[in-house]
Amino acid sequence: MITKNDINNRDDLLALMEAFYAKALKDVLIQHFFNEVAHLNLQSHLPIIVNFWESVLFDTATYKGNVMTVHQHLHQLSPFTQAHFNRWVSLFQQTVDELFAGENAEKIKQRAQSIATIMALKTIYKNA
């Protein structure tokens, strides 16, 4: 049996994000948000998203942006649905499980679910 390491540092987060985006950018349900709406440049986006998750997971202050504002803007351009958030969470958690195991791996999966819930509330359900 192969033992997986926990997410311990920025390099681990980078590996996770590279694997996640390899899936998300090809996923039939959500790829258009990355490719056609945000026109995501993965090379420039990866350091930013790693900063975000490093701040979330390790309580650093490396992320300086406003993730909610960015996603609210994307929602205005092409509305999100609950199915989009569900797929994002599913792909994210699946990728974590494929690569890592441990306390931080569980923490990042929980945080991803929480973030997706808050984003859904502040985009698709904000006027409900």
pLDDT at residue number 3: 87
Q: What's the whole-number mean pLDDT along residues 57-71?
A: 92
pLDDT over 70, % of the chain: 98
Mind listing the pLDDT tens digit for each residue in 76-99?
A: 999 999 999 999 999 999 999 999
pLDDT at residue number 126: 81
pLDDT(1) > 90: no
pLDDT at residue number 42: 93
Report pTM.
0.93
Mind listing the pLDDT tens digit for each residue in 22-58?
A: 999 999 999 999 999 999 999 999 999 999 999 999 9
pLDDT at residue number 2: 74
DSSP string, the chain: -PPPPP--SHHHHHHHHHHHHHHHTT-TTTHHIIIIIS---HHHHHHHHHHHHHHHHH------S-HHHHHHHHHHHS---HHHHHHHHHHHHHHHHHH--SHHHHHHHHHHHHHHHHHHHHTTTTT-
Domains of the chain as residue ranges with CATH: 10-122 (1.10.490.10)
